[in-house]
A and B are shown apart, each in its own frame.
Chain A
Amino acid sequence: MKLSELLLAAREEAPAARITVDDVVAAGRRRKRRRNTGWAVAALLAVIAAIGVPQLVARPSVPPVTPPKAGLLDLRFSGYRSGDLRVGDPEWVSIENQLASIGRELSPGVYRSVGRLALYPTGSVPHTFRMDGPRESGGAINGREAWFIEVLPHAVSTADSLLTWQNSDSSTGVLASYENRLSRTEMMRLASAFRVSPPRPARLPFAITWVPPTMRLAAIDVSRPRATTAVLLPGPDRIGFELDPAYEQPQFVSSWSRPVSDSMRLPGDLSFPRTTPGNAPVPGGGIVIGVQRSFMPGTGPTPKCATWAGQRNVRQCQAAPDATSNLVARAGHDVPEADLQRVAAAGRIVGAVDNPGTWPTTQESFPTSAQVSRD
């Protein structure tokens, strides 16, 4: 008995096959389809892995640093020119508005104050200007209607004509002409050229390490690098009304005639005889801090406090943060003298006086407790 013959014989008597050629081909097609689908899925997974894995690997272990939220005291526009008219950078920056001077170049390098531009962020309402006078349409500015407003005789304002309009971000622009020094055509031209810019932080050449915990930083005056001012208001419930700056605008604009180098040739070393430093009226319950980059004889690190003759019922504590500067802190009698003295002792000079880029931002200059948030 040969094995090969037996094997051949053993596979005889096979039952009828259940599968046909068509079954085999169909099974082959199914297998091919599954395999192709598998390749497609594998390719997709490979692409996902190629893209996703490096991102996961490169992902830092710490959360990404998000840019700080725009501060309420960030500058929202920059100075610009229109013909012989010049609008400066914001000089007065407050929670409620930002102000800049308008000057006309009478002759090369000689400027004269002719008006003021104010920007009221969304939600702020102009109060300083008398906005309730007769109004007349001035046409469209950037697709929105602008209005001329006649200013009724006003004891504290030299503006006689206003132009108001709304910007694309719903902020309000107000342009004031002093003593008819700006024609309506010029006002429309200046307003049309105005642009809201991305916020950039306002800076101060000093820092205060302590203020009363209830005090909030409400405004700063950066019109003069050598004599800057900050205004504190007592508590968040007092924030929201418009402060009236008192710096001497005509002198400020005249200083453009003696320009120094910066973004819009900001005025340099000016002398303000009346209220320097702390160039703002003291609000009730608040504190005005002024820092001047010049040494006052008789001052030292320890503050000296006395009644201030510049405003009724206001006292002033004065100190010398270093040998090149002096600091005043002014407040009414509703602020304890000890607090005022402590504020005056808490100041220090930061950065180079002629290089505003080295100055700390307002968020860095004051304790966190003094920062105002709309949230």
Chain B
Amino acid sequence: MSDHEAEFREFVGAQMEALRGLAYLTCGDWQVAEDAVLGALARLYVKWGRVENPQAYARTAVVRAAIDETRRPWWRREQSHGDALPEVVAPDEILTIDDRVQLRQALLQVPVKHRAVLVLRFLEGLSVPQTAAALRCPEGTVKAYTSRGLDALRRILGADLSIDERVEARHEAV
């Protein structure tokens, strides 16, 4: 095993779980998320040693792959019949709302690009320019998606959704 491959293995071992979560929040399906992560990291393997910031590259690649997975036509999607449980959103009749489940449900109702912007900005902590670069879209689009995404989440959750002051300040400043 070469040094390059050892470094790559170490990187994957350290980042895989975070990348899975990122992909999951973007696409809303764990299996699709894993497919996206696998494809993105396979591309990174080919370019390993030539990428300046592997973490940023992997993050961008995973988000874009996750978005692509949601756009993939149904006839090109792999149909899983194994241990994957359907991510069906069932109405929660229990008054004690589990925030995590509720947020996941709310996220799935937000358009995927809005969702990707929110994840990159408020989970990964990217700035507007970084998010725009990662998604290859104008910064104005990132701002618009952020605003619409937050509005949608607030409307769906019906709650006062606060955001990190640090992130918000960066959002406002940019």
In contact, A18 and B99 (Cβ under 8 angstroms): no
B119: CB under 8 A from chain A?
A: yes
A57-106 contacts to B, CB under 8 A, are: none
**How far, in angstroms, from A25 to B122 measured CA to CA in the complex?**
30
* B45–A3 CB distance below 8 A: no
> Which B residues lie within 8 Å of A6 (CB)?
99-100, 103, 161
B46 at the interface (CB under 8 A from A): yes
CB distance from B68 to the nearest CB of A (A): 16
Q: Does B107 contact A (CB under 8 A)?
A: yes
CB-based contact B123/A24 at 8 Å? no
Contact B43 A31 (CB under 8 A): yes
Q: Give the segment of B8-16, B49-57, B71-79, B128-136 that binds chain A.
A: B8-16
Kindly state whether residue A27 has any CB partner on chain B within 8 Å: yes
Q: Are B43 and A21 in contact (CB under 8 A)?
A: no
Q: Separation in Å of the A338 CB from the closest CB of chain B?
A: 88
Q: Does A10 contact B (CB under 8 A)?
A: yes
Main secondary structure of the interface of B (DSSP, over half): helix
Check B122–A3 contact: CB distance below 8 A: yes
A73-B37 Cα distance, complex, nearest whole Å: 82
Q: Which of A7, A17, A27, A30 contacts B25 (CB 8 A)?
A: A7
B44 touches A28 (CB 8 A): yes
Contact A21 B103 (CB under 8 A): no
Total number of A residues with any Cβ neighbor in B under 8 Å: 28
A9 with B16: CB separation less than 8 A: no
Q: Does B95 contact A (CB under 8 A)?
A: no
The distance in angstroms between the C-alpha atoms of A30 and B31, with both chains bound, is 21
Residues on A with C-beta less than 8 A from B151 are none
Fill in one digit per residue for A12-43: 1 if any B CB lies within 8 Å of its CB, else 0: 11110111010111011111100100000000
Contacts of A12 in B (CB 8 A): 21, 100
Indicate if B145 sits at the interface (CB-CB under 8 A).
no
Nearest-Cβ distance from residue B165 to partner chain A, whole angstroms: 9
Residues of chain A within 8 A (CB-CB) of B153 are 3
Please determine whether B118 and A11 come into contact, CB atoms closer than 8 angstroms: no
| CB of B96 within 8 Å of the partner chain | no
Q: Which residues of B contact A1 (CB under 8 A)?
A: 99, 157, 159-162
- For B167, the chain A residues whose CB sits under 8 A away are 4
Which residue of A3, A19, A35 is within 8 Å of B38 (Cβ)?
A: A19
Verify A10–B107 contact, CB threshold 8 A. yes
A274 at the interface (CB under 8 A from B): no
Complex: chain B residue closest to A34, CB-CB: B46
Which 9 residue pairs are nearest across A and B when measured between Cβ atoms?
A28-B45, A11-B21, A27-B42, A7-B123, A9-B100, A6-B103, A28-B42, A24-B41, A31-B42
A-B contact pairs, 27 of them (CB 8 A): A1-B157, A1-B160, A1-B161, A2-B164, A3-B150, A3-B162, A4-B167, A7-B25, A7-B103, A10-B104, A10-B107, A11-B25, A14-B24, A14-B30, A21-B16, A23-B38, A24-B16, A24-B38, A24-B42, A27-B45, A28-B8, A28-B45, A29-B45, A30-B42, A31-B46, A32-B46, A35-B46
